[in-house]
């Protein structure tokens, strides 16, 4: 104890005297020891920080997403293009949404109850659920949205999933949905974005698709539209969205999302390389390979998409002969298409059911040379004789048909390979290319094609029903092969209603075998979804998505900025 000062610690004067009493050798040792103590203390504190400090996301920052094609319908009822679906995904919210793990979870709904037979669902809307104009979301909005989807005049691409479904308003926050029969994937349909009825109800059906409200959209999703930039010619150049602070779910961390629109892949990739956009998708596998070789991180995931040739026996008689179609199947070098067209980002397929719905038997690679030989033998047995021009003839008729497809480069390249493959066995193929919008309206809807090379998005069992049930053969049904098989109809109906996984698996197996036996189509490949993202953006998870727009399903969980805090303070902040 220092009796002069009354303090336990020595005074500054006493410390000075003690230090000056050191010899040079003692002073050197003292400094070394002092440095050792300081370094040790720093290392100990660093270890403590490493153990107890955690990183957490902070609000703020901006992401720029580059996409191909301008938006037309930022409207969940009408959205059909990837661009429309992307924007609708984050501007609107549904009663439910798909979780990161792929299960359905609550969104606008705070709860729901299902009847014992799973034909009646009662949803209660969150009390704090509001649209971007601060109007409350009510059961009236849910009723209005589903009614619009069911309106045949509107031609919503989601109409098939809501046919024969009745919706009743119980009170302002409660809505009841009744199904004609139960089906397990119904909750996926309730992820459709809800429209604000007070904005849309005054419009006639004829005006619905032409309203500028399809662009200056108001929803209840995690982001709201804050600015739309247009070029001099009126085309939309970019749309900026700002996080919606009154979103009923977890608030978004990233403050702004800007979508910049490009007319083709070349312009999109140039913008990415020049850092004009942070993230891009919907590029070809070949382009992805190049970008990966240049050091860019490429994320790819298999989607529930089936590409193949769908045959219309009503327009071309040869498709009614299963043996001939089998010969076509054996002739096509599917692996060449995956490698050449998709750059390896995809898988060959022989089933109408995506692996994400039913795993089935593993795909067995086929030897193309053996396939060609068998195809030639089949056509020989069917009486089609090789002519001097290299194409087969029978009773004076050439073995030929046309394939209609869209003007996307991937589709055109794939069809060119198919055409050349079939030429090797003596089949003459005419390729007809249409602009995608025209293909949908003027070719697919009225079934004006002999065969169609196209893709089906099959995210659940109800999609399978829409594509293969005989009741869906005519527009607005999606049975583009005009396929009819009563056994398949029964299997599809049982799959929709069955709650037993073992039973459902058996039905899927039988369904796959029955469709493959009939050869209404030749299934060729399932492409991967390719996504290039910026390293600054964290917590992007796409491994469980079935549609490209689902990558944005949990965009409110993405973040750019972070801070480190003590672990025990995490829950307090």
Query: pLDDT tens digits for 160-169?
Result: 789 889 999 9
Mean pLDDT of the chain, nearest integer: 91
Query: pLDDT tens digits for 370-414?
Result: 999 999 999 999 999 999 999 999 999 999 999 999 998 899 999
Q: Can you give the pLDDT at residue 135?
A: 98
Contact between 325 and 311 (Cβ < 8 Å): yes
Contact between 229 and 238 (Cβ < 8 Å): yes
Mean pLDDT of 111-138: 96
Q: What SS3 string covers 40-91?
A: HHHHHHHHHHHHHEEEEEECCCEEEEEEECCCCCCCCCCCCCHHHHHHHHHH
Mean pLDDT of 544-572: 81
Contact between 446 and 315 (Cβ < 8 Å): no
Give the integer Cα–Cα distance in Å for 203 and 208: 6
Q: Can you give the pLDDT at residue 1?
A: 47
Give the integer Cα–Cα distance in Å for 281 and 533: 9
Q: Can you give the pLDDT at residue 506?
A: 95
Q: Can you give the pLDDT at residue 19?
A: 65
Helix, coil or strand: residue 88: helix
* Cα-based distances in Å from 155 to 160, 210, 373, 481: 10, 14, 46, 20
Contact between 195 and 93 (Cβ < 8 Å): no
* 7/45: higher pLDDT: 45
Query: pLDDT tens digits for 324-359?
Result: 999 999 999 999 999 999 999 999 999 999 988 898
Contact between 52 and 567 (Cβ < 8 Å): yes
pLDDT at 17 exceeding the cut of 80: no
Q: Calculate ∠ Cα 87-80-470, nearest 5°.
A: 145
Query: pLDDT tens digits for 40-93?
Result: 877 776 676 666 677 789 999 999 999 999 999 999 999 988 999 999 999 999
Find the range with the poorest average confidence among 6-20, 254-268, 452-466, 490-504: 6-20
Helix, coil or strand: residue 433: strand
pLDDT at 3 exceeding the cut of 60: no
pLDDT at 295 exceeding the cut of 60: yes
Q: Can you give the pLDDT at residue 566?
A: 67
Helix H or strand E encompassing 105:
strand 104-106
Helix, coil or strand: residue 557: helix
Q: Count Cα atoms within 13 angstroms, Cβ side, for 110.
A: 12
Task: List phi, psi (to 5°) of 285.
Answer: -65, -35
* 23/405: higher pLDDT: 405
Give the integer Cα–Cα distance in Å for 156 and 85: 13
Q: What SS3 string covers 301-335?
A: EECCEEEEEEECCCCCHHHHCHHHHHHHHHHCCHH
Q: pLDDT-derived band of residue 280, with 50, 70 and 90 as boundaries?
A: very high
* Cα-based distances in Å from 484 to 313, 473, 481, 518: 11, 8, 9, 10
pLDDT at 141 exceeding the cut of 50: yes
- pTM to 2 decimals? 0.82
Contact between 184 and 357 (Cβ < 8 Å): no
Query: pLDDT tens digits for 113-123?
Result: 999 989 999 99
Q: Can you give the pLDDT at residue 568?
A: 55
Mean pLDDT of 184-195: 93
* 80/280: higher pLDDT: 280
DSSP state of 153: G
Contact between 313 and 319 (Cβ < 8 Å): yes
Query: pLDDT tens digits for 364-374?
Result: 777 999 999 99
Give the integer Cα–Cα distance in Å for 418 and 333: 8
Q: Can you give the pLDDT at residue 48?
A: 65
Mean pLDDT of 548-552: 92
- Please tell me whether the peptide bond between 115 and the residue prior to it is cis, using omega within 30 degrees of 0: no
Contact between 471 and 477 (Cβ < 8 Å): yes
pLDDT at 493 exceeding the cut of 50: yes
Q: Can you give the pLDDT at residue 50?
A: 65
* 437/232: higher pLDDT: 232
């Amino acid at each position: 104890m220092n009796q002069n000062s009354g303090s336990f610690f020595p005074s500054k004067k006493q410390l000075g005297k003690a230090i000056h009493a050191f010899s040079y050798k003692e002073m050197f040792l003292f400094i070394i020891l002092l440095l050792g103590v300081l370094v040790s203390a720093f290392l100990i504190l660093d270890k403590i920080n490493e153990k107890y400090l955690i990183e957490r996301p902070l609000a703020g920052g901006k992401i720029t997403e580059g996409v191909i094609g301008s938006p037309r319908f930022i409207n969940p009822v009408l959205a059909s293009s990837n661009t429309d679906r992307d924007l609708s995904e984050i501007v609107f919210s549904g009663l439910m949404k798909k979780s990161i793990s792929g299960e359905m979870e609550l969104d606008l709904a705070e709860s729901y109850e299902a009847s014992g037979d799973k034909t009646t669902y009662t949803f209660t809307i969150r009390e704090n659920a509001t649209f971007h104009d601060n109007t409350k979301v009510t059961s009236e909005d849910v009723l209005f949205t589903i009614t619009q989807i069911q309106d045949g005049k509107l031609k919503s691409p989601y109409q098939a999933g809501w046919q024969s479904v009745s919706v009743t308003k119980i009170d302002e926050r409660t809505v009841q949905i009744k199904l004609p029969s139960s089906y397990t994937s119904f909750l996926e349909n309730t992820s459709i974005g809800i429209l604000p009825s007070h904005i849309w109800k005054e419009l006639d059906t004829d005006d619905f698709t032409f309203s500028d409200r399809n662009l200056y959209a108001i929803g209840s999703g995690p982001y709201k539209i804050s600015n739309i930039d247009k070029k001099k010619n009126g085309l939309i150049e970019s749309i900026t969205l700002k996080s919606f602070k009154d979103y009923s779910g977890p608030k978004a961390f990233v403050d702004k999302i800007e979508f910049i629109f490009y007319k083709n892949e070349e312009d999109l990739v140039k913008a990415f390389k020049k850092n004009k956009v942070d993230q891009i998708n919907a590029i070809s596998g070949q382009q992805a390979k190049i970008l990966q070789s240049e050091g860019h991180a490429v994320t790819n995931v298999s989607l529930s998409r089936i590409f193949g040739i769908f045959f219309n026996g009503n327009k071309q008689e040869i498709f009614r002969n299963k043996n001939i179609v089998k010969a076509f199947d054996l002739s096509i070098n599917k692996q060449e298409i995956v490698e050449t067209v998709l750059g390896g980002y995809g898988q060959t397929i022989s089933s109408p059911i995506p692996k994400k719905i039913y795993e089935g038997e593993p795909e067995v690679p086929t030897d193309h040379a053996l396939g060609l030989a068998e195809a030639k033998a089949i056509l020989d047995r069917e009486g089609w004789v090789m002519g001097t021009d290299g194409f087969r003839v029978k009773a004076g008729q050439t073995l030929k048909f046309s394939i209609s497809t869209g003007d996307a480069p991937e589709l055109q390249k794939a069809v060119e390979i198919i055409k050349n493959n079939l030429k090797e066995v003596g089949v003459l193929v005419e390729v007809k290319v249409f602009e995608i919008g025209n293909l949908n309206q003027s070719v697919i809807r009225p079934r004006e094609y002999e065969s169609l090379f196209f893709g089906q998005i099959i995210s659940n069992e109800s999609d399978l029903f829409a594509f293969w049930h005989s009741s869906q053969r005519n527009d607005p049904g999606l049975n583009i092969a005009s396929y009819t098989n009563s056994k398949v109809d029964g299997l599809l109906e049982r799959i929709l209603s069955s709650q037993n996984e073992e039973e459902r698996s058996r039905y899927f197996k039988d369904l796959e075998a029955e469709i493959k036996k009939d050869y209404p189509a030749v299934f060729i490949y399932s492409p991967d979804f390719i996504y290039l993202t910026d390293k600054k953006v964290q917590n992007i998870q796409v491994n469980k998505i079935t549609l490209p727009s689902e990558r944005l399903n949990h965009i409110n969980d993405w973040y750019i900025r972070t801070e480190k805090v003590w672990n025990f303070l995490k829950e307090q902040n």
